[in-house]
Amino acid sequence: MSDSTWSKVIRVALFTLVPAAYLSMGLWRPHNSYGRFGREGVSPGCLVLMTAVFLVSVLSWKTHQMLAVFGLLACFLWLAVGLLPVL
């Protein structure tokens, strides 16, 4: 039984986006943080990346559960960091 094109695209996206989510941890900032130039919000790039990681993880849950768990964990960690208040 061969994989469909859609399945291959989802698998490649999963194996690319989940490591990219963990590599982007240095860019994660709380939504109300301040930097050198004033207030810094949530990065639009991280928002798009985490949305894509979440969707790909949910779509590939049946075939690649372990990697999907790591993807969902990255999304929940990103939400926790983004929602934490700046002390």
Residues in the chain: 87
Give the three-state DSSP class for 47. helix
pLDDT at 19 exceeding the cut of 80: yes
Q: How confident is the model at residue 67 (pLDDT cuts 50, 70, 90)?
A: very high
Domain total in the chain: 1
State the pLDDT at residue 52: 94
State the pLDDT at residue 2: 61
pLDDT at 86 exceeding the cut of 60: no
Give the three-state DSSP class for 55. helix
State the pLDDT at residue 1: 46
Q: Which residue has the tokens 């969707």?
A: 55
